[in-house]
Copies of this chain bind each other. A is one copy, B any other.
Amino acid sequence: MSLVVVGSVAYDGVETPHGKVDRMLGGAATYISLAASYFTPVKIVAVVGDDFAQADVDLLASRSIDLSGLERIPGGKTFFWSGVYSADMNDRTTLRTDLNVFADFNPKLPPSYRSEPFLLLGNIQPALQRSVRAQMTGVKFTGGDTMNLWIDIARPELLDAIREWDFLLINDSEAHLLSGEKNLRRAAAKILEMGPTALVIKRGEYGAVLFSKGSHFVAPGYLLEEVFDPTGAGDCFAGGFFGYLAGKGIEPKSGSIDFAEMRRAVIYGSVMGSFCCEKFGVDRFRDLTREEIEARYREFQACTAF
């Protein structure tokens, strides 16, 4: 079953203690799609300018990502973001954000996308997230991300969007802001009352926590020996998590996804996030294999079992 991914496709300029790249492929939908493509067929919905390089189209196509929904605006320029990371890479400062064609992004889904059962909404304006979901005629499971900006300036629209979702994937500071609760468990309890069946709270290098009503699963982060560039790691987590679930499909009996599969999905999400950090931008996905993913999953088991 295919996963429809909506969000930004961008060019990024990134500086970390390990180096500096002025312009390279980035964007949430890019990272999500690349990570998810190891588990399930992916169909992307995004917008780029006519500066979008053929080499980058080729990379996405090489992972069999369906690009029918990648709109190209003639005369337009692709979204550009640049930032610099702190020495420990736990903080970053945005240097420049040129929304360009992304400012007027109004996602229209190709007919071939609309009957797919899995939808993952990257961090875009909540009203747009709703309009995308409304175009999906056969959607069974929707996952979505958001950010502090929308929680601050578009809370009612965001709450309307979240109410329709099955999975919400956000980071810990967003969870605190959204719920008004500092304690993670209490924040999660409040957010689950907003509608989603499951909530994944990403905690960066410290892993992630999966909550559903009455139970939770805590996964530590994978310890990398070298983090080159953390850009996109959270999106790769989301892509690995939801891609794994889409690849597994829906329980024929109950029409649902069981919690044990969701736990495994969190680990696959962590695995994909960890690979993302090993090279600049999307570079690790140029040669990453499913065998390496499985090996790291087993390594995760080995270093967390007791």
A304 to B227, CA, bound (A): 25
- A183 adjacent to B227 (CB under 8 Å): yes
Residues of chain B within 8 A of A192, CB atoms compared: none
Interface digits, A234-277 against B, CB 8 Å rule (1 contact, 0 not)?
00000000000000000000000000100110110000000000
Number of copies: 2
Nearest neighbor of A226 in chain B, beta-carbon distance: B183
Contact assessment for B220 and A216 in the assembled complex, using a CB-CB cutoff below 8 Å: no
Residues in A lying within 8 Å of B, measured CB to CB:
87-88, 182-186, 203, 206-207, 209, 215-221, 223-227, 260, 263-264, 266-267, 301, 303-306
Cβ contacts under 8 Å, A185 to chain B? 223-225
Given contacts A219-B220, A220-B207, A220-B220, contact A225 B183 (CB under 8 A): yes
Q: Which of B219, B223, B264 contacts A209 (CB 8 A)?
A: B223
Q: Are B223 and A220 in contact (CB under 8 A)?
A: no
Contact between chains at A217 and B304 (CB < 8 Å): yes
**Chain B hits for A209, CB < 8 A:** 223
Contact at B217–A223, with CB atoms within 8 Å?
no
* Cross-chain pairs A/B with CB under 8 angstroms, 24 sampled: A88-B182, A183-B224, A183-B227, A185-B224, A185-B225, A186-B225, A206-B206, A206-B207, A206-B220, A207-B220, A215-B303, A216-B223, A217-B306, A218-B220, A218-B304, A219-B220, A219-B306, A220-B220, A263-B306, A264-B306, A266-B306, A267-B306, A301-B306, A304-B304
